[in-house]
Every structure is written in C-alpha cells, then in structure tokens.
Amino acid sequence: MKVYTFLLFGVLFLSSTLLSSAQTPLNGFMQGKNGGSFATSMSREHYSDVYLVPNNATSVPVFNEVNINSFNLFASYGINNKLDLIANLPFINISGNSNKEVLDDLNFSNYRSGTQDISAYLKYELQKKGNLSLQAAFGVTTPLSNYNVNEGFQSILAIGNQATTFNLLGIAHYSLKKNFFITTQAGYSFRTTAVPDALLSQIKAGLNLKRIYADTYISNQTSLGGVDILRNGFTGFFPATKVNYTRLGANIYTPLDGNFGINAGGGTTLTGRNLGKSSFFNAGVVYNFIYRDF
C-alpha cells in the first residue's frame, strides 16, 4: 500500500510582521472517504538577516535576531472520495535577542506568545483522468486570540497579522512512473484589514512509496500592494507591508505501523521583501484514521 501524504503542516502557518507562511497545507493526494489523519508537530524558525528595500539588513531592527517556536495541531478528513476537509491550529512563541537596556528604554519585550490563527480548507477533486487529478480548494484563516499588531517596532515579534484571509487555489497533481509525482498549485489570497492581497504558487516533486514519502518544493508569494519597511508610506504598522518571498523546502515521512507515522521537514528563504531571511525545520507524529496493512 502506498503512503498517502498526511504530513504537510509544521511551519505552514507561521507568520509574523517580518515573516510569512511557507506554503499552504494542501497537497495533491485525496484522502478518500473516511480517510484522513490527526497530527502534532513542533517547528522552529530563525533569522537575523532581513530582506529590506533597497538594501538588506544584517540584523533585525531592535531585536537583533528572531526565533519562532510553534506547536501545531493538524487534521484532515475525507468527507467523500471527492471532498477533503483540512484544518490547522498553531501555538506560537516568538523571541528576540535585544539587550535589557534597549528594551527598558523603549518599553519593549523580547517575547510574545499565544494561539495564532486557525485555518480550514475544503478541497474538491474536479476531474481525474488517467494519472492527472485537477482540484480546487477554498480556505479561511482567522485569528483565535486578540494578539496586538500595532505596537510599532515591538510588532516585529507579533505572532500574526490579526487579519482574516480567504484563499482560493487550483491544484494539478500528476503521478509519474515508479511512484514519482509532480504537484502544482496557484491561487489568490484575499486579506482583510490593511494586509495586502497576494498571489500564491507552489511546485512540488516527490516520491510516494510503501515505506517512505519524500518531496521537495518551491513556494512563492507576491503581494499586490503594501509599503516597504522604513520607506515612503510606512507608518510603523507592519501588517501593511509588501511581503514577497520564494522558499525552498523538503519533507519526508515514514510509517511506524498501519496507523502511526513520523515526519520531518525543513527549508530556507531564497529571496524576499520585508521579511526575515529564515531557515526552518519541523518534526511530528501522525495518526492515520484508516489502518493500512504494510
């Protein structure tokens, strides 16, 4: 039995004022009726360099560097063979490395933490012909806690953007010989408040075998508005900035038995605008609802 992918969580929804999520929680595999999984993961992201305009910064303003630790709860469920439900909830702890004198002068803190934004997606398989599956997905992400995003440079450590996001994506998944696959997705992200809307895209290639799943991907976000940090129009409200990025990452998963499996992943930011030049990794445990006899 092939290993169907229930693992794309980890750093998926991490965000801050200088940081944006690496990818959506969607892949090209359908869960099947009553299939799905529940997973927990821990993830860590770090950066000290920042992509700014016109020149990059070698230190995060005020805080020198930023570390983000996240605990994520993820679930997917096959409502029927054509429709999947996917949900994710992260708990974020973000910290800087500023010295006490600077913090006291500004009345800032090196730490922020809390429940971030819950996300839910519906994914529908529009058509399957041979090895090609065409799918559409709609998702909503909205804050669960009243975290602050309007504290000037303290908001570099905000755990999110305090905005509701609506994502509409198209997915094409093609299975190649010997269990190789290629998945592409592209879509539009509508954001409330002053957070700019964005175009999202990703291309992923991988191997899906009985005892191991592995993939590598490149994801991109292009904001359709916004301002640059410390440039004309910037008022100190970080969620209104133009956040672009291209990220490279990889995931690997292996089953432990017919229900349980483990996964790990990581990656780096290749290019960006108004966000940290970060590296990230995650690891987690997955429970599959349907027992699979290996």
- Residue 221 structure tokens: 């976000």
184-214 pLDDT, tens digit each? 999 999 999 999 999 999 999 999 998 899 9
Question: Can you say whether the dihedral through the CA atoms of 171, 275, 10, 225 is positive or negative?
Answer: negative
- Could you read off the pLDDT of 90-127 as tens digits, one per residue? 999 999 999 999 999 999 999 999 999 999 999 999 99
Model confidence over 241-260: pLDDT tens digits?
999 999 999 999 999 998 99
Average pLDDT, the chain: 91
How confident is the model over 122-175, as pLDDT tens digits? 999 999 999 999 999 999 999 999 999 999 999 999 999 999 999 999 999 999
Which helix (H) or strand (E) segment is 102 a member of?
A: helix 100-106
CB distance 285 to 37 below 8 Å: no
Going along the chain from its start, the domains and CATH numbers come out as 36-288 (2.40.160.40)
pLDDT interval class at 220 (50, 70, 90): very high
The predicted pLDDT at position 244 comes to: 97
